[in-house]
Structure 1
Amino acid sequence: MSRRRVAGAYLQEIRAECLRYLRSPGFVLPTLLFPATFYLLFAVLLGHAQPADAARFLLGSYVSFGVMAPGLFGFGMSLALERDNGLLTLKRAMPMPPLAYLLGKMVMAMMMALAIVMILQLLATAVAGVTLSVQQLLRLTLVASFGTLPFCALGLLLGTLSKGNGAAAVINLIYLPMAVLSGLWFPLKVLPPLLQDMAVIWPSYHLNALAQDALGFAVGSAWPHVLWLAAFSLVFITWAGWRLRRHG
């Protein structure tokens, strides 16, 4: 197959994946609107009871919370369903590049993350009164777009471990506690000391650190967080790939 046809196959898979989710409002609307709703509630409606920089800090927290969902649900739940209904087996039998299936879902997750961060930035600057430089906006957008990839890796693994009907419940049992234990919903200092120390194991903790760094909050060097997320993604993709080869 020529390079042009290979590239066309990748583009067609990306297009099909994005169209499939755009035609699923039960996935798209909650993914886009939940972070925005929570931000409006805590940063705007309850903003009078918060410190001066709270709206800017909450922007980073809810961006981190929001971009977790496209990777976890877009990969995990759909992969579990497609394994159950035989679609994954059909795609494997088709003459398509082996990575097109995963790349399509990854691009879809990144596009959803991009939409989430743009909505939250608009709310922060136009409604919550947050002042952000162009550099901060661009850095936060970059963090959000690529920050969903570790959760794609985790979602991929969960999709190999779950049955289609139970995948949503399994993912929610990980998604929501992870957000709480990472300090996305309230400061880590209110948690017991043991849970504070354990926060560093969660990818959402490191993603939030990068988001806060992009917004001007001092979190130290960003590279340890980047490297941790890269290592997490590599380990979980490798693990999920092994399970797919072994169990289908």
Structure 2
Amino acid sequence: MRRRVNEMVAVMKRILTELVRTRRSLIFWAVFPTLMLLLFGLIYAGGRSAAKSFDTTAPGILIGAALFFSCLGGPISLIVAERERGTLRRLLISPLKPGSYFLGIVFAYFAIAFGQTAIVYGIAFLFGGRFHGSPVLGLIVIALSTFAFVGLGFFFGTRFTKRTEDVTGPVSAFGVPLLVLGGTFFPVKVLPPYLLALAYFDPIFHMNQALKGISAYALGIPGTRPHLMFLIGFTVLALLLGVRSYKQLLAKERMA
């Protein structure tokens, strides 16, 4: 068990060190949500007190403009790069357990998600925004969202992308409509009834509504239960898809 933990930590450190060295992705993952939060927070403030605007804007920006691109797009890019460099083939002949490699990636992006959370809510605090609900419950929603995105990242990275140039395709085609429908950039109350009904099948909608309810309106488990239940089920499904796709990828690399 201790060896497995050490292997996982080593993989996590390697990934984070590589991201720090290349810098470009980390800069984008910090700058993009910052700009989106400032833009939409000030727009919705409408010249009035910005505190309430940043209360309600920060959760959606964190989920849709931060975690989505880092924790979904990041693993896709990583898997493609690891395949191109032959890292996965070397993994098969090394003493490193495949499970440790998978978990190392998951927790590396969880660390990135923690940093993005600090950035988004740090900026919101500067404009008077506050986290009004339970921090523990909020962290649970953020963790579930992160794990769901990483699981989907493994799924798309192993199934639909073979070159670095292919990465933006699945992220844009799959994700941007879900971000819009999920209320990342505007309140879902502006959606017509038929689109609002469709939004209930969008996992990002439930991520946004759960975190916004906790953060902006101090709702607890009773007030966010439908969204939490959907999110838990979706996270389990996403991780199962990610693990299965990862195992199938290793099997292909073993036969190559």
TM-score w.r.t. the length of structure 2 is 0.84
Which runs of no fewer than 5 residues in structure 2 stay unpaired?
none
- Partner amino acid, structure 1, of 2:19: Y
Deviation at 1:121, TM superposition (A): 1.3
Match of 1:43 in 2: 41
- Cα distance in 2, alignment partners of residues 112 and 174 from structure 1: 22
**2:16 is aligned with 1:18:** yes
Residues 5-62 of structure 1 show CA distances to partners (whole Å, capped at 9, x for unaligned) of: 3332222112112212222212111111111111112213662357873221001111
1: distance between equivalents of 2:117 and 2:4?
A: 32
SS at match of 1:222: helix
Q: 1:222 aligns with which of 224, 227, 230?
A: 224
Q: Aligned equivalents of 1:151 and 1:95: distance in 2?
A: 28
Map of 1:64 onto structure 2: 63
CA contact (8 A) 1:154 1:233 kept: no
Change (3 A) 1:200 1:89: farther
1:242 aligned partner: 244
8 Å Cα contact 2:56-2:216 kept in structure 1: no
> Contact (CA 8 Å) 1:74, 1:105: kept in 2 or not?
no
Q: Alignment identity in percent?
A: 21
Q: Provide the secondary structure at the position in 2 that maps to 1:221.
A: helix
Whole-Å Cα distance in 2 between the matches of residues 99 and 228 of structure 1? 26
Measured after TM superposition, the shift of residue 201 of structure 1 is: 1.7
Deviation sequence 1:88-126 (CA, Å, 0-9, x none): 222232111221111111111111111111111111111
Residues 142-153 of structure 1: matches in 2 within 5 Å?
A: 142-153=140-151
Equivalent AA in structure 1 for residue 235 of structure 2: S
1:117-128 to structure 2, matched below 5 A, reads 117-126=117-126, 128=127
The residue aligned with 1:30 is 28
Q: Distance in 2 between matches of 1:106 and 1:185?
A: 27
Question: 2-side partners of 1:241 and 1:137: how far apart?
Answer: 29
One-letter code aligned to 1:56: D
C-alpha spacing 1:4/1:136, structure 2 compared with 1 (3 Å):
closer
Alignment correspondent of 2:6: 8
Shift of residue 189, structure 1, vs aligned partner: 3.2
Aligned to 2:138: 140
Match of 1:155? 153
Q: Distance in 1 between matches of 2:248 and 2:136?
A: 41
Question: Bigger shift: 189-198 or 96-105?
Answer: 189-198
CA RMSD of aligned residues (A): 2.4
What is the identity, as a one-letter code, of the residue corresponding to 1:64?
I
1:70·1:148 contact (CA, 8 Å) conserved in 2? no
1:26 and 1:132 mapped to 2: Cα distance?
Answer: 30
The residue that corresponds to 1:75 in the other structure is 75
